[in-house]
Amino acid sequence: MVQGAANQNINSNEQWLQNYVDDWVKFYRKHTKEGEVASYIPILQEANQHHLGISIIGNNGVTIESGDVGIPFTIQSISKVFTFIVACMQRGVSYILDRVDVEPTGEAFNSIMHLEMRQVKKPFNPFVNAGAITITSMLNGKTSNEKLNPLLHLFEQILGYRPSLNEEVYESERKTSIRNRAIGYYLLELEYLESDLELTLETYFKQCSIEISINDLATLGMVLANDGEDPKTGLEIIPRQVARLAKSLMLTCGMYNASGKFAAYVGIPAKSGVSGGIVAIAPPRFREGDFPFLEGCGIGVYGPALDKQGNSIAGIRLLRHIAKQWDLSIF
């Protein structure tokens, strides 16, 4: 039960929920100083390490926002969930899963080790860079813009506007992309790529540079929480099978080599990005007590100070606290 919630009708008292979330953001903001903003993409270093914000959007229409909510940031690795979805919609699930596995690696997101060991005949999963770059190579299109159009269209259908690229972030990553190029060359040698390496990397850097807000992340999460259907319109935007598959991958691989701990301690599907964003999903759940967002919700978090695995340090703690207080875990 939510602290002190015994006799309250939680969902009808948004102000009361808002006050709790405000207190929690205030409390967890102090953990931002324990992390570091990403520096391997130089421009990301300009983020304010003390920022922390959250947006929670319920399938029932209730929205709670708190902290630094108005700051645009680049989607980075969170894009991997949606390129995976688009690739499955274009090629079919079995085509994609024949070429990219669904196993967690326990390694860093940009690890090369498994490619070098060649124990498997495909990248481990769509969220490590090797898998994500392979997925990007499979998107339809002869130019990076053609490849990205369906992704931006999907975002537009869900968000009601077409997000743009942050050109500065794109350039900053493109110029410093030594490790992703190394991964790309391995993928090329292993014959996993389905389009030209330069085109694939250009598309990958562009997808990472799409600029969004935590509200956008919460909205994207809400549609996934609802198995791909927009609860506002009842329209199916993502096929149910694909939405479910994406969520299972988020649960097992979404937080990189911290995915096991996140599943154990928070217990909901989530995906992080190196600019400090996290999209998390609480599917509808049945509980005896009166808990918020029983109909399901999407959660967007922004906190650019990262832990060693590249996940928002304060964002994870905030999510862990909320999941515990509101009994969000799917287990």
Q: For residues 195 and 184, what is the distance between their CA atoms, to the nearest angstrom?
A: 11
Q: Quick check: is 77 catalytic?
A: yes
Residue tagged active-site, from 20, 80, 170, 242:
80
Q: Please, are residues 67 and 53 in contact by the beta-carbon 8 Å criterion?
A: yes
Does 20 interact with ligand DON (rule: CB under 6 A)?
A: no
Q: Please report, for residues 14, 44, 76, 271, 272, the alpha-carbon distance to residue 251 in angstroms, rounded to integers and kept in the order given.
A: 28, 26, 18, 8, 11
Q: Contact letters (x/-) for ligand DON, 81-110, by CB under 6 A? A: ----------------------------xx
Task: Please select the residue that binds ligand DON; options are 21, 64, 253, 274, rule is CB under 6 A.
Answer: 274
Could you say which residues in the range 154-183 bind ligand DON, by CB under 6 A?
173, 180
Stretch that binds ligand DON, among 56-64, 156-164, 220-228, 272-280 (CB under 6 A): 272-280
Question: Smallest gap, in angstroms, from Cβ of residue 55 to ligand DON?
Answer: 19
Length of the chain: 331
5 vs 249 by CB, closer to ligand DON: 249
Question: Smallest gap, in angstroms, from Cβ of residue 289 to ligand DON?
Answer: 34
Q: Quick check: is 256 catalytic?
A: yes
Q: Which residues contact 175 (CB under 8 A, 6 or more apart)?
A: none
The pair of three-digit structure tokens given for residue 249, joined into one six-digit string: 């991958």
Q: For residues 229 and 173, what is the distance between their CA atoms, to the nearest angstrom?
A: 34
Does 293 interact with ligand DON (rule: CB under 6 A)?
A: no
- End-to-end CA gap in the chain: 16
Q: For residues 206 and 39, what is the distance between their CA atoms, to the nearest angstrom?
A: 18
β-strand pairing of 297-302 with 53-58: antiparallel
Stretch that binds ligand DON, among 9-17, 116-124, 261-269, 271-279 (CB under 6 A): 271-279
Q: Please, are residues 242 and 126 in contact by the beta-carbon 8 Å criterion?
A: no
Q: For residues 283 and 269, what is the distance between their CA atoms, to the nearest angstrom?
A: 9
Does 272 interact with ligand DON (rule: CB under 6 A)?
A: yes
Q: Quick check: is 20 catalytic?
A: no
Residue tagged active-site, from 77, 111, 209, 312:
77
Q: Quick check: is 274 catalytic?
A: yes
Does 305 interact with ligand DON (rule: CB under 6 A)?
A: no
Residue tagged active-site, from 256, 301, 302, 312:
256
Q: Please report, for residues 41, 291, 322, the alpha-carbon distance to residue 178 in angstroms, rounded to integers and kept in the order given.
A: 11, 47, 38
Q: What is the residue type of 102?
A: V
Does 129 interact with ligand DON (rule: CB under 6 A)?
A: yes
Task: Please select the residue that binds ligand DON; options are 273, 283, 292, 300, rule is CB under 6 A.
Answer: 273
Residues that bind ligand DON (CB under 6 A): 76-77, 109-110, 129, 173, 180, 208, 272-274, 310
Active site residues: 77, 80, 204, 256, 274
